[in-house]
C-alpha cells in the first residue's frame, strides 16, 4: 500500500496565469473546435468536466448539462454548447467538430480537412479527445493552441515529448505520470499472481500503448510473473466485432491465467462486460480494470483509479483559461494531480469466491454490491 500512499501524495503544478474570463482583444468571443477519433465513454466524461470547470470559472453560464445517451458521440452536447447565450466569452463553433467514427479511411480525410481549416484561421483553440486526436493534431502542420484530453498515454504514444511539458509550443496534453505501472504493482501486491492475461490489438500502431503492454512487461520483469497476451482487433472495426473477438480471447485465456487485466479496447464495453467475463467467473478468476471504476461497476473485481472525476475540472478548464489569458500551451505543466482510489465489486467477489480482505474494504472509496448490466455515463 506504500505505492498507493505515494501516488496520493503526488501533485502537479501549473504556470501562474490568470483563469479569469475575458474576451479576445477585449471585444470578441474565443472560437473553439473539437476533434475525436470516434465515440468513447471517457471523451464524454472529459468534455462534461471541462464544461463544469468553465462554468465554475465564469466562462460559461451555469446550467444543467443534458445527459445524452452513452452510445451517442459528442455532437448533441456540442450543439447544446453552441446554443445562443450559453457563454459570453466562448463560441463553440458548430462546423468545427470532427470525428472519424474509428474508421481509418475516414480518419485520413478528417485529419486533412481539420488541419486545412486550422491553417486557414478562424479558430482560437482545439479540444482534442483521445490518442488518435493527439497524434493527428500534435504536430507543426498547424499552430492553433490544442488541449489534448483523455489519451491513454501521451508520452508513450509519442505525440508529446515529456510528462511535464509537451515540447510543442501550441500543444498541451493531460498527462498522468505512469499510473498503469502503479496499478499493476498494486494488483500483484493484492493477488500475488503467476500469470496475467491481457488482450490488445497487435496490428494497430497504438495497440501496445492502449494495452499498457510496456508497463505490464516492465513490472513483470521486476516482480517475476508472466504476461500472456491475446490479439483481438480493435481499430477500424465495429464495436460488435471488437467485442466478439475480445470474448474469444477471454475464452482462450481463461484456462491459462490467474488474473485478467482490462485495458483500453472496445471489447471491454461496459454494456457487454458481464457476458464477456463469464469464462472467468466460472473459474474463479478476477479481472482488474485498468480503466477505472466504470468497468468495476460492470463486472471487473477491482481497480485503483479515480472514482470521482471532479478534480479534473479545474485542471482541464484551467489549461483552456490560462491559454486564453496569454499562456503558451507548451509552457504549461501538463501533469495532473490524480488522487487514486480503490474500488471493489463485492458481487463479483461473491461470484468468483474471493474473500475481500478487511484491510482493503477499509481503504476502498467505493464497494459495489451489484453488477450494472445497463451502464450509463456518470
Are 357 and 313 in the same domain?
Answer: no
Q: What does the DSSP 8-state code read for residue 24?
A: B
Question: According to the model, what pLDDT value does residue 345 have?
Answer: 96
- CA proximity to 272, closest of 374, 350, 347: 374
Question: According to the model, what pLDDT value does residue 375 have?
Answer: 57
Grid cell 508520452 — which residue? 155
- pLDDT per residue over 176-213, tens digit each? 766 788 889 999 999 999 999 999 999 988 899 889 99
Residue 193 lies in a domain: yes
Are 32 and 79 in the same domain?
Answer: yes
Are 52 and 187 in the same domain?
Answer: no
The count of structural domains within the chain is 2
Are 235 and 248 in the same domain?
Answer: yes
Question: According to the model, what pLDDT value does residue 307 have?
Answer: 56
Are 142 and 25 in the same domain?
Answer: yes
Question: According to the model, what pLDDT value does residue 129 have?
Answer: 96
Question: According to the model, what pLDDT value does residue 10 have?
Answer: 39
Are 319 and 295 in the same domain?
Answer: no
Determine what percent of the chain falls in helix, strand and coil, rounding each to the nearest 5: 40, 15, 40
- Concatenating the DSSP letter of every residue in 249-308 gives HHHHHGGG-SEEEE-S-GGG-TTTHHHHTHHHHHHT--EEETT-HHHHHHT-SEEEE-S-
Residue 4 lies in a domain: no
Question: According to the model, what pLDDT value does residue 337 have?
Answer: 67
Residue 247 lies in a domain: yes
Are 301 and 315 in the same domain?
Answer: no
Are 359 and 300 in the same domain?
Answer: yes
Are 199 and 123 in the same domain?
Answer: no
Are 61 and 112 in the same domain?
Answer: yes
Are 356 and 272 in the same domain?
Answer: yes
Residue 374 lies in a domain: no
Low-confidence ranges of the chain (pLDDT < 70): 1-15, 70-72, 177-178, 306-308, 337-339, 374-378
Question: According to the model, what pLDDT value does residue 376 have?
Answer: 52
Are 206 and 352 in the same domain?
Answer: yes
Question: According to the model, what pLDDT value does residue 265 have?
Answer: 94
Residue 7 lies in a domain: no
Residue 84 is part of which domain span?
13-176+309-331
CATH code assigned at 322:
3.40.50.2300
Amino acid at each position: 500500500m506504500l505505492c498507493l500512499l505515494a501516488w496520493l501524495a503526488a501533485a502537479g503544478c501549473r504556470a501562474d496565469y490568470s483563469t479569469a474570463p475575458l474576451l479576445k482583444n477585449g471585444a470578441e468571443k474565443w472560437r473553439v473546435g473539437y476533434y475525436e477519433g470516434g465515440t468513447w465513454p471517457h471523451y464524454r466524461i472529459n468534455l462534461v468536466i471541462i464544461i463544469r470547470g468553465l462554468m465554475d470559472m465564469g466562462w460559461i453560464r451555469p446550467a444543467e448539462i443534458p445527459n445524452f445517451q452513452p452510445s451517442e458521440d459528442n455532437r448533441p452536447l456540442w450543439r447544446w454548447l453552441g446554443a445562443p447565450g450559453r457563454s459570453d466569452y466562448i463560441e463553440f463553433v458548430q462546423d468545427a467538430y470532427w470525428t472519424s467514427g474509428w474508421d481509418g479511411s475516414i480518419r485520413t480525410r478528417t485529419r486533412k480537412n481539420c488541419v486545412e481549416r486550422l491553417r486557414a484561421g478562424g479558430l482560437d483553440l482545439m479540444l482534442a479527445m483521445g490518442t488518435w486526436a493527439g497524434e493527428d493534431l500534435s504536430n507543426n502542420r498547424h499552430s492553433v493552441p490544442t488541449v489534448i484530453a483523455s489519451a491513454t498515454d501521451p508520452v508513450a504514444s509519442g505525440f508529446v515529448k515529456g510528462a511535464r511539458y509537451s515540447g510543442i509550443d501550441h500543444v498541451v496534453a493531460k498527462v498522468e505520470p505512469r499510473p498503469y505501472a502503479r496499478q499493476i504493482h498494486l494488483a500483484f501486491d493484492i493477488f500475488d499472481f503467476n500469470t496475467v492475461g491481457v488482450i490488445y490489438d497487435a496490428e494497430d500502431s497504438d495497440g501496445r500503448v492502449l494495452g499498457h503492454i510496456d508497463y505490464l512487461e516492465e513490472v513483470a520483469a521486476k516482480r517475476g510473473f508472466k504476461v500472456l497476451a491475446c490479439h483481438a482487433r480493435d481499430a477500424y472495426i465495429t464495436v460488435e466485432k471488437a467485442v466478439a473477438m475480445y470474448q474469444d480471447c477471454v475464452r482462450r485465456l481463461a484456462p491459462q491465467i490467474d488474473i485478467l487485466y482490462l485495458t483500453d479496447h472496445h471489447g471491454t464495453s461496459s454494456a457487454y462486460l458481464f457476458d464477456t467475463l463469464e469464462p472467468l467467473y466460472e473459474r474463479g478468476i478476477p479481472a482488474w480494470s485498468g480503466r477505472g471504476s466504470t468497468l468495476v461497476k460492470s463486472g471487473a473485481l477491482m481497480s485503483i483509479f479515480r472514482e470521482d472525476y471532479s478534480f479534473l475540472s479545474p485542471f482541464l478548464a484551467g489549461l483552456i483559461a490560462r491559454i486564453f489569458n496569454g499562456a503558451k500551451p507548451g509552457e504549461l505543466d501538463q501533469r495532473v494531480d490524480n488522487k487514486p482510489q480503490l474500488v471493489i465489486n463485492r458481487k463479483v467477489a461473491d461470484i468468483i469466491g474471493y474473500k475481500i480482505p478487511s484491510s482493503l474494504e477499509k481503504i476502498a472509496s467505493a464497494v459495489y454490491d451489484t453488477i450494472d448490466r445497463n451502464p450509463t455515463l456518470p
